[in-house]
A and B are shown apart, each in its own frame.
Chain A
Amino acid sequence: DSGVTQTPKHLITATGQRVTLRCSPRSGDLSVYWYQQSLDQGLQFLIQYYNGEERAKGNILERFSAQQFPDLHSELNLSSLELGDSALYFCASSARGDSSVSEQFFGPGTRLTVL
């Protein structure tokens, strides 16, 4: 158990809908990262927050947005969903803002299926 929690574990929805994925980092970690992993694909970095502020942006679509709240939990919002958005979405946390210095602890992931 990494100490990072993600809810829900599974999510099935229809095209055009909007969903919210939630992540609680390890106790004391200030950084939260979101990744997308499609079937048989690597990990695509989406976005990072550090202590409530956006820190780095990756290949995140305009239909997607995220935020980190004062209690440091984070939410990833996916809207106007398309079939291609079906994937495993991981949240990770680290103690510091520089992801390259400290290791990242990954949550169990949310599997999103868009029908």
Chain B
Amino acid sequence: GAGVSQTPSNKVTEKGKYVELRCDPISGHTALYWYRQSLGQGPEFLIYFQGTGAADDSGLPNDRFFAVRPEGSVSTLKIQRTERGDSAVYLCASSFSPGESEQYFGPGTRLTVT
């Protein structure tokens, strides 16, 4: 079956611009997570959705970052006024339910801010 998909796979943007990153979870998965992976590091948690609502957004680094999941399926991570330090691979994962320990990861979006 289809796994988690993310678009675009690569995004290059100029400092100060706005970007949107999309995640399509596995069908039927109610929990959706966003992580950020910097070069040479492990993924770091950003935000977690259960259904349409953000259950935990404690990992968002500042108010330039925002994410939505309006219909409880596709999610969009939005970054305003991008900075060079935002350059990283943004990973999305989904799981069948919040109590399900296995998360399935997408291939990631590599964001480069020039």
Q: Do A and B bind each other?
A: no
Query: Which residues of chain A have a CB within 8 Å of any CB of chain B?
Result: none
Query: Which residues of chain B have a CB within 8 Å of any CB of chain A?
Result: none
